[in-house]
Amino acid sequence: MSHQIATVQEIATGRRQQTWQVAWAGAPRAVKILAKVQIGLVFALLTVSSIVAHLGAPVRYEQTAFALPAIESSAQPWASEVNAFGHKVSQAFGVRRTTATEFAPWILEASQRQGLEPELLASLVLTESSFRKHARSHVGAIGPAQVRPEFWGGFCGSNDLNDPAENIYCGAQVLSHLLERCEDDDVCALMAYNIGIHSNQAQAGRRYVSKVDRYRETLRDYPL
């Protein structure tokens, strides 16, 4: 019985194939082309779907291997650098350790942003304000770097130069700008920072430069 059923199925399948072949042979050429295009599109869509699904799959081993160590490796050196520089400033300048440690990240970051030697910027802050966050001069210069808001506030793009961190960043930006104008001449740039670019008070400017240089050499020579 099962043999008879199989034979009937084979006969039916053969007839359907013959019918399909006859119909296909008699179909217009345009219909054949359209059918082939549709079949090709179906295969193309299936292939693209498979590729997208493969690309979208999460790759957990990459996230675990690269993301987490990067955070750990970058945090500790910066903390160590800040701590070491704060200790160095405290010992070399006689500044309280808590104050030096508070100022250290501002000075280091501002120096890195503007391509300055951190010892130079720290010496400028000591000369200008003795590391006082809210120092104010009789001519209106404010903060640790003694920046005059009416001259440099817009240049630095700062909204609050009373903030000591922004004040130091602005001071570093101004000093970097003056160094560029003075073709990297430290004496010219420091004098301009203190007395202005076109001032005739050259003697006062030279005293200022000498003081900053003395502090810088002291800080450079102090071991970490």
| Spans of the chain, pLDDT less than 50 | 1-16, 19-20, 22, 31, 48, 52, 57-72
In the chain, the amino acid numbered 192 is: A
Quick one: pLDDT at residue 98? 97
Domain range for residue 138?
77-221
For residue 67, being part of any structural domain is answered with no
For residue 176, being part of any structural domain is answered with yes
Per-residue pLDDT tens for 39-76?
Answer: 665 555 665 455 545 555 444 434 333 333 444 455 56
Q: How far apart are the first and last CA of the chain?
A: 98
User: Rounded to an integer, what distance in angstroms lies between the CA atom of residue 73 and that of residue 202?
Assistant: 48
Quick one: pLDDT at residue 159? 81
For residue 65, being part of any structural domain is answered with no
Burial class (CB in 10 A: 0-12, 13-18, 19+), 86: buried
User: Rounded to an integer, what distance in angstroms lies between the CA atom of residue 160 and that of residue 2?
Assistant: 94
Task: Please identify which residue in the block is written with the tokens 């890195």.
Answer: 112
User: Rounded to an integer, what distance in angstroms lies between the CA atom of residue 149 and that of residue 141?
Assistant: 7
Quick one: pLDDT at residue 223? 82
Quick one: pLDDT at residue 186? 96
Quick one: pLDDT at residue 158? 83
Quick one: pLDDT at residue 138? 93
For residue 66, being part of any structural domain is answered with no
Count structural domains, the chain. Answer: 2
Alpha-carbon torsion, ordered 217, 220, 221, 222, to 10 deg? 120
Same domain, 214 and 140: yes
CB distance 124 to 212 below 8 Å? yes
111's tokens: 């120096």
Whichever domain contains 171, its CATH number is 1.10.530.10
Quick one: pLDDT at residue 161? 95
Secondary structure letter of residue 147 according to DSSP = B
Q: How far is the CA of 151 from the CAs of 57, 83, 111, 139, 140, in angstroms?
A: 56, 34, 21, 12, 10
Quick one: pLDDT at residue 20? 47
Same domain, 47 and 88: no
User: Rounded to an integer, what distance in angstroms lies between the CA atom of residue 100 and that of residue 87?
Assistant: 7
89's tokens: 């400033």
